[in-house]
Chains A and B, each alone.
Chain A
Amino acid sequence: MNPLIILAVLMGTAFTMPLLEKVGVKPARLFFMAALALLFVISGGILVNLLNGAPDLEVVTAGFQAPFSINFRIGLAEAAVWSAAALVLLIGGSYMVHREEDGMYDRMLYLILALGVTGLILTRDLFNLFVFLEISSIAVYGLIGRGGERSLQAGFKYMIAGGISSILFLIGTVFLYRLTGTLNIDGMAAAAGSGILAGTVGASAVFILAISMLIELKPFPANGWALDAYQEAPSGIGALLSSAQASAVFIAFTKISPLFGDRLAAVLGGIGLLTFFFANLMGMRQKDEKRMFGYSSTGQIGLVIFAWFTVQGAGLPDTAAWFIVGGLLLTHLFAKAGLFWFSGLSDKDKGEGGKGFLHKVLPSALAGIFVISLLALPPFPSFFAKMELVKLLVTGGSWWILTVLFLGSLFEAAYMFAWLVKKTKAECADGGADTINGDSLVVGNRAGPDILTDSPAVEVASMLKSSTSLWVAIPALALVGLSAAWAYMAGVFNVIAMAPFAAALLMLILSFLPGRFHGFLAVIVSAAAAWWIWPRTEGIDRIFGMVFLAGGSLNLFAGLYRKDRRPGFWVFSLMTVLSLGALVLARTPLEIFMAWEVMSVGAVLITLQGKRAAGPARTGMLFALGGGYFLMTVLMSIGTATILSPAVVAILVVIAFLSKSGALGLHVWVPGSYAEADDDATSLLSSVISKAGIWAMMIFSIRILPGIYGLDGPELWLQAFNSGSFSFLSGILGWIGVLTALVATIIAVFQEDIKYTLAWSSISQLGYIILAFSLFDHFGWTTAIYLSINHFLFKAMLFLAITGVIYRVKTRLMYKMGGLIAPMPITFITVLIAIIALAGVPPLSGFGGKWLVYSALIQGGRPIQAALAMFSSGIAFLYLFRLIHSIFLGQRKDDSLGIKEAPFWLILPQILLIASIMLISAFPTVILKPIMAAVAEWMPAAIGFEGSTLMSAIGYWNGSWVMYVTMGVFMIPLVSLLIGTGRKTRKVKQFNIVFAAERPHRPETTHYAHNFFAPYRKALGSLMNPVGRKFWEGSAGGVTAVSSAFRRIYTGNGQTYALHIVLFTIAVALFAGVFA
């Protein structure tokens, strides 16, 4: 099919639109849509042909060969972007026809825009490029202006900028023609190759041409006009401007880039990077949604420009180059188009007084796909592209560039994710104060009925009513398809790596089924995965694999206690649990990183399901991504020429994993996330997912880092770790661990909110694990794994028990509970066992952990750390007692008189966990022997069993005998008591106490629970100073201040913007050495 026909069709339809309009609006719209559909069909057909191995399509006009006439060439890259743009144009057309009042002129301009985009992508003639640039520009000028008065202002500024750009383009083009004698781009490139353009005029002409195209691509700071346009243009137009038009211009830009010299290319790449950085920096302070997308768009295009010149500079072959650039570009194209449309759809809904369009499953999922893909997270093409880009930068040793890139990405993540959160969650829109310890924090934990009880059928029906809403699903589908393609090309399109996404997709498709179905599905799939993984792993992998998958399955089972649909929860939980499995099985750096990212982002998304979790989830996302960047840097340096120094790698890796585990300083996201996530989700997060960081640190130490440095034998790398800088670093790590344990424990003591108590407790427990890990010997690591398993057991027990309590009493504040032992005895027993274990009181397994960690530390020569760890474990008693007392003992409140034991779904896992903890308490060998064997594969054994006694160099512990003795001494007084007292005692009434001969007035006044450790606060409260939070808040404040300062350059005055453009041109000329 000759692609020129589509030009004729587009133009013919546009030209005849007035006549069609005379016939009627419906036929006019029909032809309009038919032309766009044909555009998509033709471009798609060509793409399919090319994918099937057809050679690049050459098209000539007027029957003469290039350079005599204008020619088109369609390679794979052009075809891909063209058909993607055509798809977006098609949907955008439908959007305009259905959602925005379209007129004859709008349709005409729209078709002309489609024409311009097509020509920009296809043409190989420089002047023809100019014509198509103008075609698309003028169409855009016209379309922007239809948005109302303020859009007129934006449109005028856009025209000024476009006018300057086109004048520059013309001058550059004509001088290039004068020098090379041709207008054909390939001819010019050949001429440039032969040095014709090397002179001053040639350099200036190329520069002017380059800058004019660059201006069209909206570089910082010469892009104020573009931002105004994004903000004020109607959403449908903004979508096209940002996706199809920008991509087409970029493709055109790549066509002329062979003319650029090395220096100019470097400068342009730098501008791309700076645009990415500054656009995202300024985007953070943005309140207006469309302007924010505008910042993101300019940033993304900047990133694509940067990527383009980076791959060009690295001399990558075409396939590899487009793997990166195309991945970024196509993701941006679909995602940003989708986002702009959403913006328009939700605007409409707001007007109708609804709760907002996105508070439904399918729209939320789509918006999620768009945002997540934009943030370059797996499995989207941008993820793979960015990985490769980072690899290039790491190979080149460009650390500063990498830093800027990561910062920019982080900024973008900050505001885009915030947008997603705001749009998909109703309750954070009113900015409810989610203060710690706030008395107002009475949280009913069932999902808000206003947003979640809509039955799926109703929802689909309401979406069908506005058929464009379903159209918006198409870019998402396209992104999913592209993800598969990119994963395939990256070589990770295998069952294990793709399982989490497949599961998520399946659940999304099945979202019309009831929530419990999803729950059962998740439980069964994760249990099956555990079953499957057991024989396929060994050693440390198997141990953690079981914690992840079996533990995850157990936690998911508990989640069944809620009958509502819980959209999101099951999807993300299953996805995260499966990604943990994939993590354990992953072998290549890419697989590891992919699974890691899915896991950490999945955890954030799980958190997000909580009613008030918006703020914490945002923070969590930033830490997840930030940690991911460190990890990416290290993983991408594997196998490249650039080898970072071992110490640097170790620091990067440790920072990455500590931010996941929430070590002191990197913990600020943890308390809020754990506290505000759904109650059962918190159990999953704390007991299961938090162990991923520990596993990863171990695996990196024994498998991946030694691989980087070619240290094959365990002894060799052990030497490396125990010498010089590494032993210093591990000492530091130990201090981080112990301070985490201490400070988090102290803070936990003062929490009134039970979930905050447990969240801080989790942080402190992770601190112990980090401390043990930091010893880097057999004893320490055995301890770390043992502690991990223990923490899994008792923290799952605690969180699940608390889930039941909150479910019944509908508050999280401990002092509002009390006396619940009577209605909830099993839950009480769970909590009792759990806190005995957590406190490390013999005979339960927690003592084993204490014994191990102190012995290991003393043996490892770290007595001070041992002392602080013991000190903090003493303080842990304070919050543990407070927890069990305030909730289960003391005075029962009138509110809780009618409540029952927790639901079966919560009780059953608790009973299983109690059984497990009793088993490993009585027979520690069951669990310790495999752990010690697994660790001994890597390092010389330092401890061993003699019979059932565990012997270290300095001490011994026989868990079984401790259990026997304890049981014995417990039974003696118990039996004597039972015999002695007989059955004649009776339980007295609640207020029958020796209370100064008075009867207490109410349970509230008698239940000593609020501010339980007041003297402690008086003595040690100063340690509560939230240094970490202040630091991060300060950093964030600084960034936003800088952001505000930079935004002042955008005065809104069109003339100033023109001045920016000229000054920008001059500055670039200076850098590019044009004046030389």
Chain B
Amino acid sequence: MTILGQLGAAALSVFIFINYGFLLAGSMARIRARVQGRIGQPVYQPYIDILKNNARRTAVHHGVMFFLGPVFRLAGGLGTFLFIPAILNSPLFANFSFSGDLLLVMYFIFFGQLGMALGAGQSGHPYSPIGVSRGLAQMSAFELPFILSVLALAIKHNSLSITAIVQAQQGGIANWTVITNPLAVIAAIIAFLGMSMHNPFSVVIAPQEIPIGPPTEYQSGLLGMLQTNRSIFNAAKLVLYVNLFFGGASATDGVLYTLSASVLHSVPVWLGVTLGVVTMVIKTFLLYFITVFVGVSFPRFRTDQSIRFFLFVPTLIGLAGLILARL
């Protein structure tokens, strides 16, 4: 594929998954509201928000880094997504995953966070660094179980390539990591709760204490950029998790593919890819549902509590998963 083709493909996959991210956010907010006995916002509310924010022009700023913060942030989200192959065996959704393996993705996550933290820092608002401090502290803690489960995967498949890991899980649910190494997946899921910053790990943005934390000072277009990032970044994380632990989604395999293959003689490529995307959407939706489920059921941890939590039980589970992988 030519460079231009790659760029086009990347743009397409980004576009699809950004929209998916918006819808996911809207629907989850509505579900959460229903659980709490409210009607909730419409599913398309994120679109309204982002349009509104982008429509307003920002009049004040706090300095260059303040400007660059959201740029870093969005670049981080986009980059993270672009280094993950979204759909197996589909060049259209392979993105730029040839640039690096799982380690690259794990570290590129920090790119946006770091830039955001810096931008927020220049605002001079004390709540921003408080939020960053909490966020970083919590992040460094939930990293450990996540790392352990990733290493379990790498050892099991003797590879750090995401494509290879997804490939290895093809051929039925029995090959999924969640079956082959449930301990590692449990550790990773708990870490995912931390990453999503929903309850009980929402102290970072704690709206009641430090109005949304780091982005306190952001408004209008800059805030819109952050919201855009939130959707693509969310999607990227979910895709990564599904890829690593839940068999991913393939353009040439999977339940939907098998179903349609049994209906049609030969599945056309576009259908295969579409089915892959649908598979991915379903899986990620279900995965995200877990965080919402937990989020509405638990109160909030303090930062030190969550640090201790992550470094204890999930870490032990992760270690057990690692040992399981080595057996």
Contact = CB atoms under 8 A, between A and B. Distances in A.
A862 to B, nearest CB: 10
Nearest to A828: B65
B148 interface: yes
B107 A840 contact: yes
Contact of A863 (B82, B121, B151): B151
Nearest to A992: B60
A958 B100 contact: yes
Interface stretch (A622-630, A693-701, A1008-1016): A1008-1016
B158 A954 contact: yes
B302 interface: yes
14 contacts: A851-B103, A851-B107, A863-B152, A863-B154, A867-B322, A870-B147, A890-B122, A955-B160, A969-B75, A973-B78, A984-B59, A991-B124, A995-B126, A1020-B311
Given A867-B322, A949-B98, 20 more contacts: A851-B103, A871-B143, A871-B147, A877-B110, A878-B136, A881-B117, A889-B124, A891-B124, A957-B100, A957-B104, A958-B99, A961-B98, A970-B72, A974-B75, A977-B225, A986-B60, A1006-B126, A1019-B307, A1019-B308, A1020-B311
Contact of A841 (B58, B101, B102, B108): B108
A1019 B57 contact: no
Contacts of A1000: 126
Contact of A851 (B100, B155, B158, B319): B100
A854 interface: yes
A137 B54 CA distance: 99
Contacts of A913: none
A1006 B123 CA distance: 11
Contacts of A953: 158
B57 A982 contact: yes
Nearest to B100: A957
B144 A885 contact: no
A973 B129 contact: no
Given A881-B132, A1008-B129, A985 B98 contact: no
Contacts of B60: 985-988, 992
A-B residue pairs, 5 tightest by C-beta: A889-B121, A955-B160, A1015-B303, A955-B101, A961-B99
Contacts of A1013: 133, 136-137
B143 A874 contact: yes
A417 B301 CA distance: 53
A890 B62 CA distance: 10
Interface size band for B: 35 or more
Nearest to B310: A1019
Interface of B is mostly: helix
Contacts of B61: 985-988
A1007 interface: yes
Contacts of B225: 973, 977
Interface of A: 819, 821-822, 832, 835-836, 839-842, 847, 850-851, 854-855, 858, 863-864, 866-867, 870-871, 874-875, 877-878, 881-882, 884-885, 889-891, 949, 953-958, 961-962, 965-966, 969-970, 972-974, 977, 980-982, 984-988, 990-995, 1000, 1006-1009, 1012-1016, 1018-1020
A855 B144 CA distance: 17
A819 B62 CA distance: 11
B118 interface: yes
B285 interface: no
Contacts of B102: 955
Contacts of B72: 970
Given A966-B75, A969-B79, A841 B110 contact: yes
B310 to A, nearest CB: 10
Nearest to A1012: B133
B93 interface: no
Given A986-B60, A988-B62, A842 B104 contact: yes
A500 to B, nearest CB: 41
B17 interface: no
Interface in B151-181: 151-152, 154-155, 158-161
Given A890-B121, A1016-B307, A1019-B304, A821 B63 contact: yes
Contact of A966 (B67, B70, B111): B111
B283 interface: no
Interface centre among B68, B118, B302 (most CB of A within 10 A): B118
B244 interface: no
A854 B103 contact: yes
Contacts of B78: 969, 972-973
Interface in B107-121: 107-108, 110-111, 114, 117-118, 121
A881 B118 CA distance: 8
Given A973-B225, A1008-B126, A1013-B133, A962 B99 contact: yes
